[in-house]
Amino acid sequence: LALSSSANSTGKSEWKKGDPVPYSALTDCFEQIDKTTKRTLISSYLTSFLLKVALNPGKDGGDLLRVVYLCINRLCPDYMGIELGIGESLIIKAIAQCTGRSVQQIKTDLRTVGDLGLVAEQSRGKQKTLFKSAPLTVPFVFKCLTDIAKASGNASQARKVGIIQKLLTPCTGSETKFIVRSLEGKLRIGLAEKTLVTALAHAIVLKEVGSKKLPEGKLADILAKGAEAVKAVYRQVQLSNIIHNRYSDSSLLKGGIEGLKEACKLTPGVPLKPMLAKPTKAIGEVLDRFEGKEFTCEYKYDGERAQIHMLEDGQIVVFSRNSENMSAKYPDLVESIPRCVDKSVKTFVIDTEAVAYDIQEKKLLPFQQLTTRKRKDVRTEDITVRVHIFAFDLLYLNGESLLQKELVERRRLLQESFHPVEGEFAFAESSDGSSSEQIAEFLDESIKDGCEGLMVKRLTSADSTYEPSRRSINWLKLKKDYLAGVGDSCDLVVVGGYYGKGKRTNTYGAFLLACYDADAEQFQTACKIGTGFSDQMLQDLYNLLSPLELASGKRSDIQADMSKPPDVWFEPKVVFEVLTADLTLSPIYMAAQGLVDERGISLRFPRFIRIREDKDADDATTSEQIAEFYEAQALASKGNRGGGGND
Ligand code: ATP
């Protein structure tokens, strides 16, 4: 472990016991991380720093949490909905005001430098300071960022600019750069959340071990076990939820890893990241993958994923695929769910799909109908589009997590604990038959009933446990429409826009889309899409995207061929779901570059399906998924050439 050699090297800044952690100590650590791409080094720098903070977490004991949050650019768990990511123009205004430069000068620099953090740092460097302000501390920075994120209402712009100034004035060295990048919502130092999870686990273990002498090999062993335990917790609840305030520093640190595991147990009210499925292109592929093993086919409903929790006090909370609290969007669900619950049930977490429903015709409506529902301040009496819940999993019941139980058992408990209510709640239609004909028949039925296809799931054995946040091979999706294409649609981030021609000069006419490489924190371009949009759609997209235009041009975390840049670059926020005929190696696009070939992979003839409002840029199709699609396609075409037919 490189840790021992770097244990004392994480920065010049030291602090006395009980003092708040200086912000410069954190930014020194960021600088070190920024200078390397080696995961082990990044992890050891961070472990050393987190250990130092863990040993001396400030007077209120809260600085370890704050530091971890600042490393991932968050202020609280995602589901609480308080986010950083301030618009570029507001930050430019604040930088101008506190450096005495003009907005225009800053914009000009930004176009050349491409990083507002650096521009701010350079602008501060040019300034003469007359008096020295007190140095920034982690709790102060954290509080200011939280105040900015929470500011709303008419005067909020001016308040935000005021707080940013308060933050920037005492900055020295690279502090300015990191404050600005935090405000923008991305640190851009190549620090993957996974690495932070490992480093946090190591720091907790090392703190517990203290100065105890351990036999050779023992330390490495408990470090590895600690990291595995924290990763398992992480898969369930996401880092920002692990360190949710109510778990507080003390439970992060007390009782070491075991204490953490105990504190982070699945709890109604705290969403867990849903299990995801792998796409398949043919029934034959499903049978190959699940050969000889027990599985079940369920209808794949075309709605919105809804993870529904009932808390001890009877409160119902609905979370989206993205852990967003959707209870305000679905007051009708919150009201109706208790009617479907057996009296014996006190607390639960169920995994379901909420589908638009025609109560008169008793039939499912397409997903588009669901999108016409208002997202906020919905009053039950104003609802025109009804939703029907189709429950397919039970994750928690009466104080007990069921994640480790087999699906067959979870399903039994689900059906025992809930009862269908016509037009409101039902269990997902399922069929446990496993011949090719039975699957084909059930697939056809699902389509006739208004579904997208099937979800095929392992039913028994350790392979049928619920795997939070994992795209698992134990869940396969079979979408009828996509059997002819690459097996699934892609969800890509809009990173650039091209102005329209002719009638469409006032809107964008085409868009540059990118996939996401989570390890490198980079967006990689995958295709340009410009057909299939009506004039009205283009106008709506213009309204949505133009506020995201970047004065600075391309952000450094977007990998793109610059010989033909788009007319404008966007902040990567909006996600398009697109279909493609096939994938091809490309000298121009960068998706999955280096994974299957030196060239990138691009989508041919992409077709727009819809905006994925339930996905953030970080949830876009990943580079690995694009590589997997490409390889599966190559394999299928080889099979076809060799005469090995596929259904
Ligand atoms: P992914 O979540 O895999 O990135 P996605 O959000 O685009 O993809 P799909 O590829 O359409 O979703 O497939 C998975 C989704 O299908 C689930 O997230 C869930 O919302 C929905 N779904 C519908 N019926 C079921 C079911 N019976 N079991 C599991 N998921 C189902």
Q: Is any ligand 1 atom within 6 A of the Cβ of residue 350?
A: no
pTM of the model: 0.79
Q: Is any ligand 1 atom within 6 A of the Cβ of residue 609?
A: no
Greater model confidence, 87 or 167: 167
Q: Is 248 exposed, middle or buried (0-12, 13-18, 19+ CB in 10 A)?
A: middle
Q: Is 50 exceeded by the pLDDT of residue 529?
A: yes
* Closest atom of ligand 1 to CA, residue 577: 7
| Residue 451 CA, ligand 1 centroid: distance in Å | 11
| Residue 70 CA, ligand 1 centroid: distance in Å | 32
Q: Is 80 exceeded by the pLDDT of residue 288?
A: yes
Question: CA distances (Å), 229 to each of 72, 222, 553, in order?
Answer: 20, 10, 42
Question: CA distances (Å), 540 to each of 154, 509, 602, 606, 611, in order?
Answer: 25, 12, 26, 20, 11
Where in 500-613 does DSSP place strands (E)? 508-517, 522-529, 558-559, 568-569, 575-579, 582-586, 600-604, 607-611
Which of 11-20, 84-93, 254-263, 474-483 has the weakest average pLDDT?
Answer: 254-263
The ipTM estimated for the assembled molecules is 0.96
* Bridge partner residues of 479 (DSSP): 453
Q: Is any ligand 1 atom within 6 A of the Cβ of residue 276?
A: yes
> Residue 261 carries which side chain, given as an amino acid letter?
K
Nearest CA to ligand 1 atom 25: 300
Q: Is any ligand 1 atom within 6 A of the Cβ of residue 517?
A: no
Nearest CA to ligand 1 atom 24: 300
pLDDT score for 237: 56
pLDDT score for 645: 35
Which of 249-253, 348-352, 548-552 has the weakest average pLDDT?
Answer: 249-253
Would you place residue 245 in the very low, low, confident or very high pLDDT band (cuts 50, 70, 90)? Answer: very low
| Residue 465 CA, ligand 1 centroid: distance in Å | 17
Query: What's the alpha-carbon Rg for the chain, to the nearest Å?
Result: 26
Share of the chain above pLDDT 90, in %: 51
Q: Is any ligand 1 atom within 6 A of the Cβ of residue 612?
A: no
Q: Is any ligand 1 atom within 6 A of the Cβ of residue 247?
A: no
Would you place residue 242 in the very low, low, confident or very high pLDDT band (cuts 50, 70, 90)? Answer: low
Do residues 307 and 352 make contact, with C-beta atoms less than 8 angstroms apart?
A: yes
Sign of the torsion angle spanned by Cα atoms 632, 633, 634, 635: positive
Mean pLDDT of 443-458: 94
pLDDT score for 247: 43
Q: What are phi and psi of 626, to 5 degrees?
A: -60, -45
Would you place residue 198 in the very low, low, confident or very high pLDDT band (cuts 50, 70, 90)? Answer: confident
**Number of neighbouring beta carbons within 10 Å of residue 277:** 20
Selection from 338, 335, 307 nearest residue 321 by Cα: 307
pLDDT score for 29: 95
| Residue 277 CA, ligand 1 centroid: distance in Å | 7
| Residue 600 CA, ligand 1 centroid: distance in Å | 27
| Residue 325 CA, ligand 1 centroid: distance in Å | 18
Q: Is 50 exceeded by the pLDDT of residue 5?
A: no
Greater model confidence, 643 or 554: 554
CA–CA distance, 566 with 534 (Å, rounded to integer): 21
* Closest atom of ligand 1 to CA, residue 615: 6
* Closest atom of ligand 1 to CA, residue 471: 3
Nearest CA to ligand 1 atom 17: 305
CA–CA distance, 481 with 469 (Å, rounded to integer): 25
Which one of the listed residues 93, 177, 186, 300 is annotated catalytic? 300
pLDDT score for 233: 66
CA–CA distance, 35 with 56 (Å, rounded to integer): 26
Helix, coil or strand: residue 569: strand
The rounded mean pLDDT for the chain is 86
150 is catalytic: no
Greater model confidence, 564 or 238: 564
pLDDT score for 594: 92
